[in-house]
Amino acid sequence: MLTTSEISGQIDNDVDDDVDLEDVLAQLEDRQLVEQGEGSTWTIAGDPDRLRRVYDSLRTTELFNELYGAEDRDEWVSTE
């Protein structure tokens, strides 16, 4: 189990300063990837095979970003 503060200290959150760790953890909980314990503690949840697939998908995205550059969200959003 890790506290929110411990998780925050372990991640590189300079990608988007508007991202709130609590919101990210809540989204992961909605997807049944983490479980909130007592207070502000969190644990990894779920089936190990499912977690492996999620990790593999993330790593594949990172690899493509390294090879081809990250996508620009603004290019995908219509400004009409």
Q: Where are the domains of the chain?
A: 2-76
Of 49, 45, 31, 32, the residue nearest 2 (C-alpha): 45
Tell me, what's the pLDDT at 65? Answer: 92
Per-residue pLDDT of the chain (80 residues; tens, 9 = 90+): 778 777 777 776 555 555 688 888 888 888 888 898 888 888 888 788 888 898 899 999 999 999 999 888 788 786 65
pTM for the model: 0.52
- May I ask the CATH class of domain 2-76? mainly alpha
Q: What distance in Å separates the CA atoms of residue 58 and residue 39, rounded to the nearest whole number?
A: 28
Instruction: Give CA–CA dist 69/64, Å, rounded.
Output: 7
Residue with tokens 């995908």: 76
What is the pLDDT at residue 68?
A: 93
Q: Both tokens of residue 40?
A: 């502000």
**What residue ranges in 1-80 does DSSP mark as E strands?**
2-3, 34-36, 41-44
Q: What is the pLDDT of residue 63?
A: 95
